[in-house]
Structure 1
Amino acid sequence: MISEFESSAVHLKKVDHETQRRSASCIWCSKVCGFILLLVFITASYMLSCKRKTLLFDPYLMEEDLSEDALRDVVQSISAKVKFRARRVPAVSELIILEEHMFSVAPKRFLPDVKNPCWFQELRGDVSVDPYGSNLFGRSFRPIQHIFEQLSVSFRQLVTRHEGKLQRLRCLPYFYIIGQPKCGTTDLYERLRLHPDVRLTQPKEPHWWSRKRLGVFQYGGRPHTRFPLDHYLDLFDPVTLQIQQSLLGNSSSNIITGEASASTMWDNNAWLYLHGNSRGAEPPALVQDFIHALQPDARFIAILRDPVERLYSDYLYFGTSDKSALDFHQKVCESLWMFEDCLRDAGLRACVYNNTLNNAMSVRLQVGLYVVFLLDWLSVFSRDQLLVLRLEDHALNPELSMSRIFHFLRLGALSDQKQRQISKRPASNTRRASDRDLGPMRADTRELLSLFYSPFNQRLAQVLQDESFTWDARSEHA
């Protein structure tokens, strides 16, 4: 028999062996983690020093950097570097190379007797299989999955024999509410939904053109699985079914489709993932280039507000914890330094569309540079295809702004009762009570941001030929 001493010795050896094994494992893990951290550091260093990224900044500001004089100098330096240069618009052939599948799905021409951009798509394979089972929107969002489950029951109504082939009707949006965030897009969406001839997507913001198309699920995230165009088109099938029933009944339909992703106007942060081998500092193709190539007659609505107020609202809505006027001020100061640092080595558009900079800034300064985005949209779409509103005017007189929208979308006249229902609807997505309790931003923050946005607002007012877009108190009461 083994003595108690020998048994203890054997047990100690096992414990010692296990300890050594764990120790070796920890050492190995430490080495691997160290190596990964080194790679991350090297990659980050490259990204921050590369001319294409043009980001060389120190995120830790000294007390003297936060002085009023130093910050004014930063803003003045930014203003001196602001140059509005025309962009190079890519040829359609270049876009097709980048998004071959997308252009293989949508045709060059749409049905002539339908107000929406619609066409018949040939069905291949087993038509009895659930057409929405693999849809990535349905897999990602439970409410959409529920809609698809209902649609799958009536899917056979979408299948028709056209020109001797089994086909289904497909439609793109007739119009887009393209931006900007925290400027009243939700309120426009909710009021437009009350119009009897308007059908908007669920969810309000598919973010397909700016993000899901490239596999990005949230702002600033890295790409995963790309959502194909077919999955985006499925979101419009509820209204497509109504349009198809009108076509089969030889009757006209005034129904129009739309969606309201507030990122469409400005968010091109994922451009490097699509153009990874590009050597330029600016994205060679933007969201609007692809939309224009696919549907050149589309119509767009943008609603803007004083960019100073927009930024604070954005901070209050998307900020996580420890929100305060002081915290907002510090984040604004840090972001201004970063933006100015970028402009030392790069042009305005390169910094506005710089993914690294935008992810590094703790407040989204660039979203309020409305004129940069508007000029880029006007490089491919005509002025009469973009309706630009101000939130301040919409809040003051929603009936007038909605009438402008209905006219822009070529919608028929409404009854007085329906018009009152739309215009008197309570405002949507207003500031939360907990955020209102934080009070306004500091006066010095407001002054700093007003100086920063001023040259951009002035140029915006020139482009739109409307002085109210300077958000200058004097022009408000002129």
Structure 2
Amino acid sequence: MAGKWLDLRSVLLPVVITEAVLLCICYNYMSAERSCDTHSENPIYSHLTKDSVFLTNVGSTQTFPDKMNFNQTDKDQLRRKSPEFGPLRPLNVVPMEVEPHYTVSYQRDVPINYTDLFSTDSEGNCRASFCKWPKMPGATRELVASAPELFEKIPLRFLDNFKNPCWLRGETELNCLPYFYILGNYKCGTTDMWDKITAHPDVFAKVAKEPHWWGPRRNGYTAIPINRPEVLQARSHTGGTDDSSLEWYLNLYKASVVPEIINSRITTKEGIGYHPKVFGDASISTVYAIGREWIKTFPYAAEPPYTNADLMHALQPNAKFILMIRNPTRRADSFFWYLHRPGQPGDADRWHQKATTYIQCFKKCVQDYNLRFCAYAAECPYDLIPDLQVGIYHVFIRDWLKVFPRDNFKVIRLEDWEAEPVTVYRDLLNFLDLRQLSVDEENRILKRRRSNQNQRQHEQTHPETLNALNDFHRPFNVELAKLMGDDKFNYPDYKGSSV
């Protein structure tokens, strides 16, 4: 009997030991958010406390020092609201033992044939990128054809160990898009809002505020009214003077903030490496500037078949958007005087002529087409910096709310920001999923001098000009209040004061 027991033990013992080893391996790689059987579908991140990054440009390499080594206890930092669009592909899977030494490599804009976006094999099955974009929310063939590079290069999901949307190309090259976007409008407090958000300790401030890429630059705009050093630097890395490629946009951030994102690495209590800091884009043109290519591509379209809202929802469904608005008549009045040098006699007359001519032109456009068509394409004139149509807020807001839930899109009135900055700021931090600050930190930020406030001396706007502007905007304000479900958005007539 003892001999039989020894024989049986010699068979069972290796099995028991093997199972114990497998259980141990599985346990060591489990976290609060992941299980062992998910490693084949998600990037693997290290439990180390140090990392370095190499910045590469035409053969040169720069090493950044190791950064923060904190013990964080908030598991929510690792949660990503990743919508499921179907089976997920592995994204640049790295060895389980170590997080990669991320590199930041500038890429040239090289013409690429994107026929794989719509290709199938002999049996009709999808090939290459065609297997990816149908899983992106709201991505139609027409939308993909309007921006093939973006659908080719931007992945289905981003790295889980970065709060900011980032992904790898190859094994180590890190690419990042903005975490949040501040949208329109001119003279609505966007610069001051940007200043206060980027003063938060977890938001990077040293980044170009208004690259205007999603709207104007992506559609062929090459002028440099702002951010000149950053624009020229991105061009030098990308090649040429055309800023429309995604590589230009990515290079813009690689030259400023991506290395800092890498170096913001912390270690959670569970021993997981995490990069908690984020950056944004405050190009106000993103809300309305979609170019005019759609008119040529769809000559019989009654309205734009897609907007930046549709495009960005397909590519960044979890991005956060902040739209700043203001009494539209007061906004238009402030913007005119902001663009004109003080002390020029006759400016009030010129402003009246400009406003009335524009209103007549826009009304004629609506008679010939419809309001939504004219809001995006009115030749009164159509410009990077449009005049009155940006104040038709409800048209643009409706397009964004059609695709983004309210949890991703926030409308802030400048009037509320001025009247209750503490309340608005705390609500904004909650919206952006940023940690609330102490009272001292809040006071330090909110007491900063208001940015880009128009204080130029100028003539008084004629009352008849303000009356014409009020008449123009009044029905649109009514529609805005209905859309937002709040009468405070039904702005009263503006009679004139300091702007």
Q: What TM-score comes out, normalization by structure 2 length?
A: 0.62
Q: For the Cα contact (< 8 Å) 1:118–1:170, is it kept in 2?
A: yes
| Farther-moved stretch of structure 1 (318-327 vs 364-373) | 318-327
3-state SS of 1:359 partner: coil
Deviation at 1:325, TM superposition (A): 2.1
CA–CA distance in structure 1, aligned partners of residues 359 and 321 of structure 2? 30
Report the Cα offset of residue 319 of structure 1.
4.0
Sequence identity (%) = 36
Query: Aligned partners of 1:471, 1:421: CA distance in 2, in Å?
Result: 32
Cα distance change of structure 1 residues 169 and 176 upon mapping to structure 2, 3 Å threshold: same
- 277 and 454 in structure 1: CA distance in 2 versus 1, 3 angstrom threshold: closer
Q: What code does the residue aligned with 1:240 have? A: V
Q: Which residue of 1 aligns with 2:200?
A: 195
The code of the aligned residue for 1:227 comes to: S
CA contact (8 A) 1:98 1:274 kept: no
Q: What residue in structure 2 maps to residue 229 of structure 1?
A: 246
Q: Does 1:467 align with 2:480?
A: no
The Cα shift of 1:200 comes to 4.4
Q: What is the alpha-carbon distance in structure 2 between the residues aligned to residue 331 and residue 384 of structure 1? A: 39
- Say if 1:392 and 1:219 are closer, same or farther in 2 by CA, change over 3 A: farther
Shift of 1:219: 11
Aligned equivalents of 2:193, 2:161: Cα separation in 1 = 28
Give the CA deviation at 1:201.
5.9
Deviation at 1:323, TM superposition (A): 5.9
1:257/1:442 Cα in 2 relative to 1: closer, same or farther (>3 Å)?
Answer: same
The 5-angstrom pairing of residues 326-365 of structure 1 reads: 326-359=349-382, 364-365=387-388
Let me know the Cα RMSD of the aligned residues. 2.7
Q: How far apart are 1:430 and its partner, in Å?
A: 1.1
Displacement over 6 Å in runs of 4+? 360-363
Instruction: Give unpaired runs (5+ residues) of structure 2.
Output: 1-136, 226-240, 495-499
From 170, 181, 186, the counterpart of 1:181 = 186
Is it true that 1:259 corresponds to 2:281 in the alignment?
Answer: yes
Identify the match of residue 385 of structure 1 among 382, 390, 408.
408
Distance 1:92 1:113, change over 3 A: farther
Match of 1:169 in 2: 174
SS of the aligned residue for 1:244 comes to helix
Distance of 1:310 and 1:258 partners within structure 2:
24
Structure ranking higher in helix proportion: 1
Deviation at residue 306 of structure 1 after TM alignment: 0.3
For 1:382 and 1:204, how far apart are their aligned partners in 2? Answer: 25
Question: Are 2:307 and 1:286 equivalent residues in the alignment?
Answer: yes
Return 395-404 or 295-304, whichever deviates more: 395-404
**CA pair 274-208 structure 1, distance change in 2 beyond 3 A:** farther
Question: Any unmatched runs of 5+ in structure 1?
Answer: 1-88, 123-161
Q: Of residues 325, 339, 343 in structure 1, which corresponds to 2:348?
A: 325
Q: Offset of 1:367 from its aligned partner?
A: 0.9
Contact residue 325 and residue 438 of structure 1 kept, 8 A: yes
Q: Provide the TM-score with structure 1 as the length reference.
A: 0.65
Partner amino acid, structure 2, of 1:378? L
Opposite residue 114 of structure 1, the aligned amino acid is F
Residues of 2 paired with 1:263 and 1:236: CA distance? 19
- State the Cα distance separating 1:329 from its structure 2 match: 1.4
Kept in 1: contact 2:192–2:452 (CA 8 A): yes
Q: Please report how far the alpha carbon of residue 92 of structure 1 lies from its aligned counterpart in structure 2 after TM superposition.
A: 3.1
Distance 1:235 1:384, change over 3 A: same
Aligned residues: 336
Query: CA offset at residue 112 of structure 1?
Result: 2.1
* Residue 462 of structure 2 is aligned to residue 442 of structure 1: yes
C-alpha spacing 1:361/1:271, structure 2 compared with 1 (3 Å): closer
Q: Deviations over 1:289-344 (max 9, x none)?
A: 11111111111001110000110111112347666222211211111111111122
1:272 deviates by 2.3
SS state at 1:357 partner:
coil
Higher relative contact order (CA 8 A, sep 6+): 1
Does 2:337 align with 1:316?
yes
SS at match of 1:379: helix
Query: How far apart are the structure 2 equivalents of 1:244 and 1:415?
Result: 26
